[in-house]
Structure 1
Amino acid sequence: MKKGILLVNLGSPDSPNPKDVKTYLDEFLMDPRVIDVPFWLRSFIVRGIVLNTRPKASAAAYQKIWWEEGSPLIVISERLQEKVQQQVEMPVGLAMRYGSMTIKKGLQDLVDKGVEEVLLIPLYPQFAMATTETILVLAKDIRKTDFPNLKITDLPAFYNNPDYIEVLSNSISRHLKGKNIDHLLFSYHGVPERHIKKSDITKSHCKIDGSCCVTASKAHQFCYRHQCFEVTRLVAEKLQLEEGKYSTSFQSRLGFDPWLQPYTDRTIERLGTQSVKNMAVVTPAFVSDCLETLEEIAMEGEEIFHEVGGENFTTIPCLNDDQEWVDLLAKWINTWVTTETVTV
């Protein structure tokens, strides 16, 4: 069977225009795995409230970070695709979960090239309902309705893969070389606490009480919170970071339900008021820089830090199209091709 690869990232509006942003937000927020409430309530929240208030502000944020070539996330993902393609023999496609670069188009492009078996690579190190799961579920539905003869295999979450941890740690080291940093903050995208409990395959382990994430369980295979804290622990161990010189937080909360804590904005503020003068932030829930890293952290986060007395604020780029990251993806792909296994 001819094999092909489909890299899948989050997505982006077609432009920073409020109309395009509204279209994008509607698709994104109406996903039942993003806002997991009954359709009538989700529609009321999104279409009755959010889309009447948020698009203009979101468009202004996108305008701050938009590149001449287009959306940073899209441009970076395309660069990654091109570099990976140079290192593997089978076709490498690119798609987005939301927006005009659909998964259906990505699969169609591969099928048009004669591909019969696809390795789907969600570009997220950690598993979450609102990221990896929604990609896999949609891809399964599309295959069933449009490509019934296509075989699709997916790459598992790679948050604790030693090679990934090494690549991430090396990237952090390079970007902090020569800098005197008092504190390194690992900021991950937030999710509602209920997502963690819904993803608990044991239906009893996850209590979000500070102990369940460090107690061995099958639940960890799908526990976003555990996987985030584990990335922090493994990188801190690799870089030999001192206890108290690093921490974990969660950003981008929405609405009034309890989300994973501590919150990034409040953590930055707290650290700044506690005499941390030189701070760095890394965002390991993302492999590509996007609105949440370029605007929320690099702009808003720095502003908060300076307002409370902080002096030097360093934002560490995502892996983007870093050559070590490209090499690792190519390694996983070539292993799948030769061994039919996707264990990372």
Structure 2
Amino acid sequence: MKGVLLVNLGSPDSTKPKDVKKYLDEFLMDPRVIDVPRWARILLVRGIILNTRPKQSAKAYQKIWWEEGSPLIVLSERLKNKVQDNVTIPVALAMRYGSMTLKKGIQELVDQGVTEIKTIPLYPQFAMATTETIDVKVDELVTEFFPQVTITRTPAFYNKPGYVEVLSKSIGESLKGLDYDHILFSYHGVPERHIRKSDITNGNCKMNGKCCFKMGSPQHEFCYRHQCEITTVNVAKKLGLERGTYSTTFQSRLGFDPWLQPYTDRTIERMGKAGTKKLVVVTPAFVSDCLETLEEIAMEGQEIFHEVGGEEFTTIPCLNDRDDFAELLSKWIDEWRIVDIKTAIA
């Protein structure tokens, strides 16, 4: 029997510093998030970051927390419920970090008789710190606890026509009747070394932004930067945006190593100082609105923009639990579900 596991990032159980600290410890101690030797990761995370960051992050979470709980969790659950209503096989939801564990999600499906699971990471673009860490953790759990289960992975869907259509439609609806000077497509940042580590061609990636646009290169299957850039290009083309009215940036850097550039916060500041008065920001690396979109962009980004002379700052919601997005995921699930049936008939 087949089943589907939707997977998102995760969230603290509450806005209390102790819950935030527990969540950050699991998240930042992941070797695919902070990819340094374990001793160095322990020193950095448990010796430095967790002594200061939890209180700061707790205050940020308090700004965006909903009555029902974490926005990311609530929105993910709504999406899961809509998908389940559209398909005939079991659908479960899990988080890579936090109390809604991958193990619990797999167990929920196994308890319903599922032996073949399609994992769908809710990340349009592949990254070592998102999709890859989910794949690795799922493999570990299956080997240790669920040897009877087989896993089918879902590739990055950043360039699939259905996704581009739904994303473009959601952005277009928000732009309708809106007067703006520029649109920033802001993606979550990653260290440049993550891009190099994911380069299956062993050095073909030049990290100069040019190879991102040379179509057909094999490393693009796992190149986060390429997939972000092409997401912007595809949506801009779909919406008929003029060159110069939009650009791609990266947010949420940590530490002192070089991360993907240009940085979102510095770009917002620069554009405001340069005379941009009406700025729109969309965050296509996130399927669900979360701390990074609701606080870092919608609050901190707006504050930066207004401080340097900007006037109107608009953030466009993520896909969240849009009906057309739920229908798209359901379509992909149905296509996977009927493969064996078609094979049997043939």
- Give the TM-score of the pair, scaled to structure 1: 0.98
1:315 is aligned to 315
Measure how far apart 1:271 and its partner are: 1.2
Aligned position for 1:176: 175
Tell me the residue number matched to 1:198.
197
Q: One-letter code of the match for 1:36?
A: D
- Counterpart in 1 of 2:78? 79
Please state if 1:333 is matched with 2:333.
Answer: yes
Shift of 1:178: 1.1
The aligned counterpart of 2:149 is 150
5 Å-filtered alignment, 1:158-169, equals: 158-169=157-168
Letter in 2 for 1:175: S
Deviations 1:241-291 (A, max 9, x none): 111100000000000000000000001111111211111100000000000
Give the structure 2 partner of residue 219 of structure 1.
219
Residue 92 of structure 2: aligned partner: 93
Give matches, 1:291-310, under 5 Å. 291-310=291-310
Cα distance in 1, alignment partners of residues 53 and 190 from structure 2: 19
What are the superposed Cα offsets for residues 180-229 of structure 1, whole Å, 9 maximum, x if unpaired? 11101000000000000000000121121121212231000000000000
CA distance in 2: counterparts of 1:286 and 1:154, whole angstroms: 19
Question: Is 1:272 matched with 2:272?
Answer: yes
Deviation string, structure 1 residues 132-181 (Cα, Å, up to 9, x no partner): 00000000010000000101101110000111001000000111111111
Do structure 1's residue 116 and structure 2's residue 112 form an aligned pair?
Answer: no
2:252 is the alignment partner of 1:252: yes
Shift >4 Å, 4+ stretches = none
Aligned partners of 1:89 and 1:160: how far apart in 2?
Answer: 27
Q: Determine the structure 2 residue equivalent to 1:10.
A: 9
2:18 aligns with 19
Aligned counterpart, 2:49: 50
Corresponding letter in the other structure for 1:182: D
**In structure 2, how many angstroms separate the alpha carbons of the residues matched to 1:323 and 1:23?**
34
Aligned to 2:228: 228
Report the counterpart of residue 242 of structure 2 in structure 1.
242
TM-score by length of 2: 0.97
Aligned-residue Cα RMSD (Å) equals: 0.9
**Structure 1, residues 280-334: CA drift from partner, whole Å, max 9, x if none?**
1000000000000000000000001111111111100000000110110000000
User: How much has 1:340 moved relative to structure 2?
Assistant: 5.2
SS of the aligned residue for 1:55 comes to helix
How far apart in 2 are the matches of 1:201 and 1:318? 30
- Identity %, equivalent residues: 70
**Aligned amino acid, residue 221 of structure 1:** E
Distance 2:226 2:209 in 1: 10
The size of the alignment, in residue pairs, is 340
- Structure 1 counterpart SS, 2:124: coil
**Amino acid in the other structure paired with 2:206:** K
Q: Which secondary structure state, in structure 1, belongs to the residue aligned with residue 338 of structure 2?
A: helix
